[in-house]
Chains A and B, each alone.
Chain A
Amino acid sequence: MKTNDVILQFTAKLVFFIIFLFSVHIFMAGHYTPGGGFVGGLLAASAIVLLILAFDLKTVQAGFPINYRIMTAIGLVLALGTAAFPMFDGKPFFTHYFDYFDLPFFGKTSLHTAMLFDAGVFLVVVGVTMTIIQSIGEDE
């Protein structure tokens, strides 16, 4: 029996963008206020899970042709590389560089290397969560 879930699919398509933008906001806010790469990654993964719930694994995989294992590897390299980079400079592991820049649109902005580490954590969390969910959903 084919069920007709037009309302759920339309809602999922709309809400996906809201959740994903909120995850980007949480990820960017993570330095001074609550948030960070882990929560943002979980939210982005839950946005994709909502699409998988409304549609199916095949459609979502066609929409996002991402190999999540490679995504996890890229995230690990980014996080560990950012953490290990100061050791080549003679500083301790996990040393944190930051400076103030004058960006054209945002004005005076502080850019931190902790952001790169957080981006790695984001990619790892999304990759691992989606790998788990795909491998759970694939077996009958």
Chain B
Amino acid sequence: MEFFIGRYSYYLIAALLVVGLYGITWKRNMLKKVIGMTVFQTAIYLFFIQGATKIGATIPIYDPELGLDPVDYLNPLPHVMILTAIVVGVAVTGIALALLLRIQRAYGSLDEGTVIRKMREGR
């Protein structure tokens, strides 16, 4: 039982990852694919962030009462990585939306099948 309590966050993250992958692979609308990609990204963020936790530790800001024992502070490295990854993720979502606008302008639709059919017709 303790084994599962120590790993419940991994199971929730795996569920979120599968939901995101379902959105990417099975939705026909490309905007919904982008939403699935964002859910997938969020699962990755959560995986990194939960790897930084230490039971009984506080946020990685020096506290004079605690001293400098590494056991008392969370691991700062995943926080840094995800801090930058979130901003980069927003920028990448912006590019994806710009491409969607361009596709909508060129083919008049965001549906995967319609766009592929119109591409085949050489429009």
A-B interaction: no
